[in-house]
Amino acid sequence: MELIVVESPTKARMIEKFLGGKYKVLSSMGHIRDLPTHSMGVDIENGFDPDYEIIRGKKKILREIEKQARQAERLYLAMDEDREGEAIGWHLLESLSLKKVEKKPGRIVFHEVTAEAVQNALKAPREIDSNLVNAQQARRILDRIVGYRISPLLSKRIRRGLSAGRVQSAGLRMIVEREKERAKFVPREYYTVEGRVDLRGTPAEASLWGCGGKKIKKFDLGTKEQAQEVVDKCLNEPLTVKDIKQDEKKNSPPPPFITSTLQQDAYNRLKYTPARTMKIAQQLYEGVDLADGSSAGLITYMRTDSVKISAQAVDRIRKYIKENLGDPYLPGRANAYRSKKTAQEAHECIRPTDVFRTPESVSGSLTREQGELYRLIWERFAACQMRPAIIDRVKVKLDCSGYEFRISGQTVKFDGYMKIWKTSVTETVIPPVSAGDVFRWMELCANHHQTKPPARFTPATLVSELEKNGIGRPSTYATILNTLFRRKYISSESGSLLPQEIGVVVTEALEKHFEQIVNYEFTAGMESRLDEIAAGRQDWKEMLKEFYEGFEERFRLASSQMEMIKDEKTSEECPECGSDMVIRWGRNGRFMACSAYPGCRKTFNIDENGEKVKEPGTDMKCPACSKPLVVKTGRYG
């Protein structure tokens, strides 16, 4: 019997089903050991040596793995092929007492939980990649240093329970800066002139383009009077066709999903948060029991920034397109996509493990959420290897009293990839016209517009912005958002992300005293250096030393210079004891409290202006003193 250890119990169950009786498969349930919970656990003076300890509750799991490993003919570590997976395997080996067992553990990797992928991996075991492990250790220690040093300082100077993080704080800054841009935004008015033209019984939308051959820019019609002047000159005058342009536009299919684009489209199309998307994707990756009695992982590994597709997967999807959609939808050769320079090319894109396993064929075996996400992934992958859509476009230029108006139309000539990946294309049919044709207005009016402030981030647009700035990696996008919500630094309103007052205060304190931590370029640079460590081109302890030297100097200055947020005085008196009421910071933001605390515990909720919020009354009486009961907002709502 040979032993395989994976990080997930679902994955363990699936693999044991594939491999029959020759292998025993156990789960480590994630990491076996980590830095200690109640101390920094990093010996900075001695080369940043970490002091790892077995995670609480994992000793029993470790003993079982060790027992089975001693009995097994060979041990295989089959964690995910990324830094975290490599580190889980390494930590497990370091924790096992296998010194006297002459069996060299094998590290195996696969991108999909299928029988074929696992069996192929077992034929090519390798050693633990120390570079990947060191990159994970460097990231973990970096985050520990930042969090363990800055968080207590914020808690002491601003409010208890606050935290800072190397990546989360940069993400928070983005949300705070966007809100400040919105607050400073001054709207600007402008007008457009638009109307409907009767094209031989077919109404067509026409809009003003220019005058005298010169384009009218956005703010050229800045007042209603200017726009109305154009309307008055043109409304009762004929329109003469000057020119007609017709062309074809090819809409290329989108690339297959990577982590960030999956999270964005799952939010935009299904309204799934990044965390929810990754949870469902994890289930699809680790495997499900299908109605025909078989079991399989339905998608490839879902934490990836590469659009690479295996040759085998390309052959399968091209075969599917040919058999089910026909030759018109199949390109002459496979579509190729290019990943970012920083992408981990060892990984594939996120795709179905077998494209012939259609969403319809597995719908009875999946939950509603699993089915929706699988369909999204399947359709995107199938579409990426189809022909472009072809759009017929026509543009008609018309003259009216020296002003140039334009009518645009488009129709889908060939749907191509849009047959599967539904994309909104508004079709507008323009009847045949010729140069010199004359038409009349059905209506013409001046329309008022106002510039809008930059939109607040949604979970999807924040992930896009993090990726664009090189902040975080595929495995961290969902975690960043979750942390900001958990710390109550941000909230959600109609799908938009809003910074809370405490989030703004923390960001401003970090910008002033730890600019390095919230600096986008610096944060992205650190990610690049971690990539260099993973590639074996950078020494991890040397990188930590360079970071710490500058960080510790800033920390010493901040410790002496960061202002204490003091209670704000008010003109209110405590109705219970007559002492002054003050405004303090709490877990849910600011509130009004009696200055005689803890002798008097009277408090009031306040609004954003510091005014008392009237507490809603009830029809109930206090059973102890018979005074009216009111509804209050507490720590848990």
Tokens 């400040």 belong to which residue?
180
- The distance of Cα 368 from the centroid of its chain, to the nearest Å, equals 22
Pairing of strands 23-27, 2-6: parallel
Polymer length of the chain:
637
Q: Counting Cβ atoms within 10 Å, is residue 381 exposed (0-12), middle (13-18) or buried (19+)?
A: buried
Helix boundaries (H) for 458-572:
459-468, 477-486, 501-513, 515-518, 520-534, 540-561
Peptide bond preceding 598 in cis form (omega within 30 of 0): yes
Residue 69 to residues 3, 88, 95, 398, 549: CA-CA distances in angstroms?
A: 6, 16, 12, 81, 43
Tokens of 221: 């019609």
- The distance of Cα 469 from the centroid of its chain, to the nearest Å, equals 13
List, edge to edge, every strand of the sheet that includes 75-77.
Answer: 23-27, 2-6, 75-77, 106-107
> Alpha-carbon dihedral of residues 524, 529, 534, 539, nearest 10 degrees?
-160
- CA dist., res. 102 & res. 168, Å (int): 44
Q: Counting Cβ atoms within 10 Å, is residue 87 exposed (0-12), middle (13-18) or buried (19+)?
A: buried
Given the residues 190, 272, 301, 320, the one annotated as active site: 301
Give 151-155's long-range contacts (Cβ < 8 A, gap of 24+): 153/555, 153/558, 153/559, 153/562, 154/506, 154/509
Q: Does an H or E element contain 327, and which?
A: none
- CA dist., res. 558 & res. 564, Å (int): 11
- CA dist., res. 473 & res. 308, Å (int): 17
- Quick check: is 320 catalytic? no
Those residues with Cβ within 8 angstroms of residue 51's Cβ, 6 or more apart along the chain or in another chain: 35, 36, 39, 41, 42, 43
Residue 569 to residues 155, 582, 610, 614: CA-CA distances in angstroms?
A: 21, 5, 11, 20
Those residues with Cβ within 8 angstroms of residue 303's Cβ, 6 or more apart along the chain or in another chain: 80, 82, 259, 278, 474, 475
Active site members: 301
